[in-house]
Amino acid sequence: MAKHLVTLIPGDGIGPEITSAMRRVVEATGVDIEWDVVEAGADVMDKYGTPLPDHVIESIRKNKVAIKGPITTPVGTGFRSVNVALRKALDLYTNLRPAFSIEGTGARYDNVDLVICRENTEDLYAGIEFEQGTADAAELIQWVEDKGAGTIRPDSGISLKPISVTGSRRIVKFAFDYAIANGRKKVTAVHKANILKHSDGLFLKVAREVAEEYADSGIEFEDYIVDATCMQLVLHPEWWDVLALPNLYGDIVSDLCAGLIGGLGMAPGANIGDECAVFEPVHGSAPKYTGKDMANPTAEILSSVLMLNHLGEREAGERVLRAVRTVLAAGERVTYDIRRTRFGSTDGAVGTQSYADALIEHL
């Protein structure tokens, strides 16, 4: 069995606790992983002067695969987000967010099984902004008016929404390739092309072109307007399979889908590029629970399932997923949040590591 080199970023807040639980579960599968543990986040600011030291990025570049806990971005450092900085530095253009029902979570639905493929590098999150009241904002406002493109109020702040052929093509292609590799049946491109003709309109045009290239793949293609998508996800979550979305819509819709399956504590995630992949839970660092052995590590552990699949260790990933399903369905050795949602009381809840112990027993 080949050894896998994986960068492990524990993060801060509850990060070290839930990554410790994840690591124990993964190691119990028997998969041979050598962990390259590196630190990032608010806790390393004093030591390195940055929440994202260069050696962290270099470790990921070298190992190609990383898994991390949640990271708190320090205020006033110039970093909008450590996670965003990682995505940009490594060109992790796909944010992969599966959402699937698991018995025992207390979720509102039991028939959800879909995958969000969110473009990760452009759209309104590109960070091209002009602050209200600045000379640059005034110049842009005047330029727009001079071009006859419209009128912007002079007291406006402005954010630009770049959507490229390149960015659109590779996220839709990723969605089709993922669907084929994972036995999925349909890809839906989500957009607002009826209003945003030259940005979302371009995304939809490229999506349709990519779909033509996969016409013989057996994967169905459709497109849906984003607001209708949100409504129908709530009304008919069973309709959906793989969704490809620009950055902003992907962010919003993926959290909506997390709500369908019981919340962010059940939501695994991955940021994937052509060279590297970083796996992580979607939720935050929850600093008020730091060191209390209370946090639910399910999202981190489900993220490790995605990692194992990415490493070609699908059998191990399937065993971990079965263990999660078994323990949550039983409802006896689960963390406080699951007990409270399911039974209305935290009585009988176990800690983070005891929950991991229960999973290990069922591998």
**Active centre residues (catalytic):** 125, 192, 227, 251
Determine contact, residues 60/77, Cβ cutoff 8 Å: no
For residue 79, report the phi and psi dihedrals to the nearest 5 degrees: -85, 120
As a whole number of angstroms, the distance between CA 317 and CA 310 comes to 10
| DSSP notation for 134-180 | SHHHHHHHHHHHHTTS----TT--EE-----HHHHHHHHHHHHHHHH
**C-alpha atoms less than 13 angstroms from C-alpha of 217 in its C-beta half-sphere:** 23
CB within 8 Å of 53: residues ≥ 6 apart: 38, 39, 40, 44
SS3 215: coil
Distances from the Cα of 199 to the Cαs of 115, 120, 152, 174, in angstroms?
23, 15, 19, 20
The structure tokens 């209305």 sit at 344
SS3 317: helix
Determine contact, residues 324/359, Cβ cutoff 8 Å: yes
CB within 8 Å of 197: residues ≥ 6 apart: none
Determine contact, residues 51/40, Cβ cutoff 8 Å: yes
Distances from the Cα of 42 to the Cαs of 77, 81, 108, 271, 345, in angstroms?
10, 11, 35, 21, 34
**C-alpha atoms less than 13 angstroms from C-alpha of 232 in its C-beta half-sphere:** 13
Query: Residue 5's beta-bridge partner residues?
Result: 34
- Comparing CA positions, the residue from 229, 268, 300, 246 lying closest to residue 97 is 268
